[in-house]
Amino acid sequence: MPAIVATVLAALAALLHVYIFVMESVQWTTPRVWRRFGVTDQETADAIRPMAYNQGFYNLFLAIGATIGIVLFWAGGTGTAADVAGRTLMLFTLGSMAAAALVLISSGRRYVGAALLQGTLPLLGFVLLLFA
């Protein structure tokens, strides 16, 4: 049962990171989006657009890693190469997502809510996967 819940949480974390990718790399020019990230004016949004674009792809790559990990984890039987590779990839990507949330918290108190949103699913998935 922990394996099922862990992979559901990993899948939800991956979906959230795809959504973050879309906001940062695709929809950044929309004021609704850059305001959500605390940017106050168009000039600043334009200035940091390349950084947001790049950051969005980091989120996408983490989501892809988690997704491949889920597929590999369920593709092989216990102890197979696919199982080990999938478990390792999920632990790495979920751990990276949770660590990124900690970095976000270190940026200031105003980011605590965003960090909790970004980091809770991967942290719970990581812990449950350790027991699966």
- pLDDT tens digits, 60-109: 999 999 999 999 999 988 889 999 999 999 999 999 999 999 999 998 89
Q: Model-level pTM? A: 0.92
Tell me whether residue 8 is exposed, middle or buried, using C-beta atoms within 10 angstroms of its C-beta: 0 to 12, 13 to 18, 19 or more: middle
What are phi and psi for residue 40, nearest 5 degrees? Answer: -100, -15
Report the alpha-carbon distance of residue 129 to residue 132 in Å, rounded. 5
**pLDDT tens digits, one per residue of 2-18:** 999 999 999 999 999 99
